[in-house]
Amino acid sequence: MALAAQYNLELHQMDVKTAFLNRRLDEEVYMALPERLNISFEKNMIAFTKANADQNVYIYSQENAFVYLALYVDDCILASNSLRLLTKIKEKLKTEFEMVDLEEIHHCLGMQVDRNREEGWIRISQPQYLVEKFARFNMADCKPIDTPMEPGLKLSVLDSPNSVGESEEVKHIPYQATVGSLMWAMVCARPDISFAVSSVAQFMSNPGLTHWKAVKRIFRYLKGTLDFGLVFTRVDKPSGLTGYSDADSGGCLHTRRSTSGYCFQLNGGTISWTSKKQKSVALSSTEAEYMALSKAGAEAMWLRELLTDLGFELESTTIFCDNQSTTKVPWKESRYLKDIVSPLEESLFRRRRENVN
């Protein structure tokens, strides 16, 4: 979407019928052909090239024109700088598969896509999806609130039921389904609820009333921000890929593990984000921040590889971090690094430092 906004690409959508009946088989199937019958298998019938960074992204190029195809189960999104080539590719696809051409994209996977090509912006939001979830979980009349999580709140396993009586109180609460619906909104177009949703998602197996109250607060926040979403705009001077990394220090009351978070922007539009508890206990805020920065660095490498597959050259990617000690770690001696990172992270760091030097 960010590329389509910046370069004014055609953006269309197609749907594959009975996609689940045409999936890859889990086992080998042997068949015997009748005499004088030959079957030829064409590996690449339309000459698409699979992106190295993402097996669900395909690229077709012809002279100065190109088509990008992104797949999600039975939904296809196509972007191209040539309407003529795009039309030709869609017709070819329809001869190979039973597909419905939905033309310019407006709604996809619960997301609403609005676009103004003259002004050069694309907006992704989920108002219809969220309204449906409000109705499903009986929260249509909830009162809006300004923040997705109570300031300073730290959820804990100590808030989970520890008796039969407490378990009965939450037995009929659709906690897993509700949080699952929030997770889809989070990964599609709402990075602003990432931390809150990742926090409540840690208690899926044994949620308590405190956890449920936190879930309902997220819905109250969404009720007042239905039209919030991602916006990608065309800019005169593209700023390239920029990242931001952060972490708390021992935020989990039960395990004392920290939470990492990062987001990346392409020409000012947010394209990647996460909020996730770290897998090991950090012994200092510097270590927690460096572990978060390491994950952000890996994501930056993947994004750069994907953009390179799509034919775009990038300058160096800057990742911002608000911890001065962490920003100095890459230039310290390797003995210091071994004290705060894993061998794999140290190896990755060495490669990146060599490239910088």
pLDDT of amino acid 357: 37
Residue 233 lies in a domain: no
Distance CA 98, CA 354 (A): 50
The reply to whether 92 and 25 lie within a common domain is yes
The reply to whether 96 and 60 lie within a common domain is yes
β-bridge mates for residue 270, sequence order: 265
What is the reported pTM? 0.84
More confident residue, 10 or 237: 10
Residue 120 lies in a domain: no
Residue 116 lies in a domain: no
Q: Domain containing 311: what range?
A: 239-354
Residue 50 lies in a domain: yes
Helix-, strand-, coil-residue percentages of the chain, each rounded to 5: 40, 25, 40
Tell me which amino acid residue 76 is: C
The reply to whether 203 and 272 lie within a common domain is no
Distance CA 228, CA 180 (A): 19
pLDDT of amino acid 303: 96
Residue pair 68/80 in contact (Cβ under 8 Å)? The answer is yes
Distance CA 311, CA 57 (A): 13
For residues 321, 322, 323 and 328, what is the CA-based torsion angle, rounded to 10 degrees?
50
The reply to whether 286 and 317 lie within a common domain is yes
CATH label of the domain that carries residue 52 = 3.30.310
Distance CA 107, CA 73 (A): 16
pLDDT of amino acid 343: 58
Token output for 122:
């694309």
Residue 119 lies in a domain: no
The reply to whether 28 and 131 lie within a common domain is no
| Tens-place pLDDT, residues 262-301 | 999 999 999 999 999 999 998 888 889 988 998 999 999 9
The reply to whether 190 and 277 lie within a common domain is no
| Tens-place pLDDT, residues 184-235 | 999 999 999 999 999 999 999 999 999 999 999 999 999 999 999 999 999 9
Residue 313: which pLDDT band, with cuts at 50, 70 and 90? confident
CATH label of the domain that carries residue 325 = 3.30.420
The reply to whether 262 and 299 lie within a common domain is yes
Residue pair 101/14 in contact (Cβ under 8 Å)? The answer is yes
Residue 323 lies in a domain: yes
| Tens-place pLDDT, residues 235-273 | 998 889 999 999 998 888 888 999 999 999 999 999 999
Q: Does the pLDDT at position 327 exceed 80? A: no
Among 194, 224, 254, the domain boundary falls at 224
Residue 286: Cβ within 10 Å count: 19
Measured in degrees and rounded to the nearest 5, phi and psi for residue 264 equal -130, 145
The reply to whether 137 and 79 lie within a common domain is no
Among 224, 254, 279, the domain boundary falls at 224
Residue 121 lies in a domain: no
More confident residue, 17 or 268: 268
pLDDT of amino acid 44: 45
Q: How far is CA 25 from CA 20, 28, 42, in A?
A: 11, 7, 18
The reply to whether 196 and 301 lie within a common domain is no
The reply to whether 269 and 350 lie within a common domain is yes
pLDDT of amino acid 338: 52
Distance CA 247, CA 243 (A): 14
Q: Number of folded domains in the chain?
A: 3
Residue 122 lies in a domain: no
The secondary element (H helix, E strand) that includes residue 261 is strand 259-266
| Strands (E) located in 22-154 | 49-50, 57-62, 65-72, 75-80, 99-104, 107-108, 111-116, 121-125
pLDDT of amino acid 356: 42
The reply to whether 243 and 220 lie within a common domain is no
The reply to whether 184 and 275 lie within a common domain is no
Maximum Cα–Cα distance for the chain, whole Å?
A: 75
Q: Does the pLDDT at position 351 exceed 70? A: no
